[in-house]
């Protein structure tokens, strides 16, 4: 159990660290949230497509966790009393191979997930502006999306209102230990003492842990977020197909996401954005005037086995890690469960598959 005076430093004010800061501060824990950037959500979170999804290719235990993760976003919406809204539009997915849709619906239905196969008529009803309509698609009606930057800012503000000390422009250079116990962090602005340090620094985690002898296999996986200005909303749901992921952020702003390939003339992010723009025009009505306003490459922190890393580190007392993909989907549940564990000093079975020591 932690005491009233226990001081916890959370490093990283992306959506994962912001959620944790909010959850801990709301339970009256003394929290300092620090980030090297000028403000919240300046790294992967800023570039996120921000689809809250249970995914379609995970094993049952992880799938249950992801379903819980969706429920946690509903909880957070209620808890923050409408300060932010998830757009629960549902998600429509189709694949190159039509048999894939069948396979996915059968699998997800067996996990009792609310998902169904719909035909071309139903697809047209949901997306009347689609020019090229597939024969069938998977409709996951309880999925949604958020404005990841706004939500992170709100969580940081809520943490601040609950008493958290928030410091930006404070890069952590290393961790301070005494024997095997964490004592604080060395920052570019001086040392900060703490009883516990939580790292929510995404792709920065492995480098900061390495000097402590902790090797974490976390891939840095780049992906591209494109923003388009449009005269009218042409897409209603989150749509994922072999060409792109696309959704409306508002009536005037569309988001599309694509995998990063390389910096070659044919495949650099600008070239992909131009191709995506042409593909949108080919597939959707009312898109002749769309205008690309921004192309950003974000670096996703993806642990080698694809699963989150959440929990205390094996050999360093007082160090807790919280690094994951897809981090927007998982931020609300990760914040709640990590807070419960930290406060109670009891392991939560829901996190048992995600411990840092599984790589030892």
Ligand X SMILES: Cc1cc2nc3c(=O)[nH]c(=O)nc-3n(C[C@H](O)[C@H](O)[C@H](O)COP(=O)(O)OP(=O)(O)OC[C@H]3O[C@@H](n4cnc5c(N)ncnc54)[C@H](O)[C@@H]3O)c2cc1C
Q: Which residues bind ligand X (CB under 6 A)?
A: 11-17, 34-37, 42-45, 47-51, 171-172, 200-202, 204, 208, 223-225, 257, 298, 300-301, 323, 325-329
Report in angstroms how near the CB of residue 18 gets to ligand X at its nearest. Answer: 7
- Cβ-based nearer residue to ligand X, 158 or 328: 328
Give CA separation, 162 vs 10, 23, 202, in Å: 15, 9, 24
Alpha-carbon torsion (226, 40, 354, 332), positive or negative:
negative
* CB of residue 40 to ligand X, shortest distance in Å: 7
Of residues 224 and 351, the one with the C-beta less far from ligand X = 224
Name the minimum Å distance from CB 65 to ligand X: 13
CB of 304 to ligand X, least distance (A): 15
Q: Closest CB to ligand X belongs to which residue?
A: 14
For ligand X, the closer CB: 102 or 359: 359
C-alpha–C-alpha distance, residues 71 and 343, integer Å: 22
Residue 250 per-residue DSSP state = S
Nearest residue (CB) to ligand X, 192 versus 290: 192
Q: How far is the CB of 330 from ligand X (least distance, A)?
A: 7
Helix (H) or strand (E) holding 337: helix 327-344
Identity of the residue, 219 or 317, whose beta carbon is nearer to ligand X in the bound complex = 219
What is the closest distance, in whole angstroms, from the C-beta atom of residue 135 to ligand X in the complex? 26
- The Cα–Cα gap between 244 and 238 comes to 11
Gap between the Cα atoms of 225 and 128, Å rounded:
25
Residue 287 or 329: the one with the smaller Cβ distance to ligand X is: 329
Helical ranges in 44-97 per DSSP H: 60-79
Q: Which is nearer to ligand X, 90 or 131 (CB)?
A: 90
The pair of three-digit structure tokens given for residue 339, joined into one six-digit string:
């807070």
User: Which residues lie below 8 Å from residue 194, measured CB to CB, with a gap of 6+?
Assistant: 7, 8, 9, 32, 182, 183, 184, 185, 318
122 vs 221, which CB is nearer to ligand X? 221
Task: Tell me how far CA of residue 357 lies from CA of 33, 141, 303, 345, in angstroms.
Answer: 25, 36, 13, 17
Q: Judged by CB, which is closer to ligand X: 289, or 313? A: 313
DSSP string, 298-333: EEEEEETTSS-EEEE-SSSBTEEEEE-TTHHHHHHH
Classified as helix, coil or strand, 294 is strand
Which residue number, 133 or 261, has a Cβ lying nearer to ligand X?
A: 261
Q: What is the helix (H) or strand (E) element at residue 235, kind and residue range?
A: none
Q: Tokens for 168, please give them.
A: 């930006």
Residue 191: phi and psi, rounded to 5, are -85, 150
Question: Nearest approach, Cβ of 15 to ligand X (angstroms)?
Answer: 5
Report which DSSP code applies to 184: E
Peptide bond into 198 cis (omega under 30): no
Rounded to a whole number of angstroms, the minimum distance from the CB of residue 92 to ligand X is: 14
CB of 208 to ligand X, least distance (A): 6
DSSP string of 211-253?
GGT----EEEEEEEEEEEE-SS----SEEEETTEEEEESSSSE
For residue 55, the minimal CB distance to ligand X (Å) is 9
């Amino acid at each position: 159990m932690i005491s009233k005076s226990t001081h916890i430093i959370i490093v990283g004010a992306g959506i994962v660290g912001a959620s944790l800061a909010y959850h801990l501060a709301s339970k009256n824990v003394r929290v300092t949230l620090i980030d090297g950037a000028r403000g919240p959500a300046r790294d992967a979170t800023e570039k996120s497509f921000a689809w809250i999804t249970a995914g379609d290719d995970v094993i049952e235990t992880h799938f249950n966790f992801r379903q819980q993760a969706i429920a946690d976003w509903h909880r957070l919406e209620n808890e923050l009393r409408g300060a932010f809204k998830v757009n629960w539009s549902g998600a429509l997915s189709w694949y190159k191979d039509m048999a894939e849709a069948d396979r996915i619906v059968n699998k997800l239905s067996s996990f009792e997930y609310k998902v169904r196969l719909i035909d071309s008529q139903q697809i047209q009803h949901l997306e009347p502006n689609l020019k090229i309509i597939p024969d069938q698609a998977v409709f996951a009606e309880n999925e949604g999306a958020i404005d990841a930057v706004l939500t992170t800012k709100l969580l940081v503000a809520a943490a601040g209102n609950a008493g958290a000390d928030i410091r930006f422009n404070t890069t952590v250079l290393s961790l301070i230990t005494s024997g095997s116990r964490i004592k604080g962090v060395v920052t570019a602005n001086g040392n900060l003492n703490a009883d516990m340090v939580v790292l929510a620094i995404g792709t920065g985690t492995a480098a900061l842990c390495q000097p402590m002898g902790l090797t974490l296999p976390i891939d840095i996986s780049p992906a591209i977020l494109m923003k388009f200005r449009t005269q009218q909303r042409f897409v209603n749901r989150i749509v994922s197909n072999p060409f792109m992921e696309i959704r409306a952020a508002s009536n005037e702003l569309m988001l599309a996401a694509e995998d990063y390939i390389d910096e070659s003339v044919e495949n650099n992010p600008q070239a992909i954005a131009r191709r995506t723009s042409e593909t949108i025009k080919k597939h959707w009505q009312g898109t002749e005037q769309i205008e690309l306003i921004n192309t950003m490459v974000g670096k996703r922190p993806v642990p080698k086995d694809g699963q989150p890393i959440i929990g205390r580190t094996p050999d360093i007392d007082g160090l807790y890690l919280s690094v994951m993909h897809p981090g927007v989907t998982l931020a609300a549940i990760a914040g709640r469960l990590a807070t419960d564990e930290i406060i109670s000093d009891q392991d939560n079975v829901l996190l048992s598959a995600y411990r840092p020591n599984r790589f030892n």
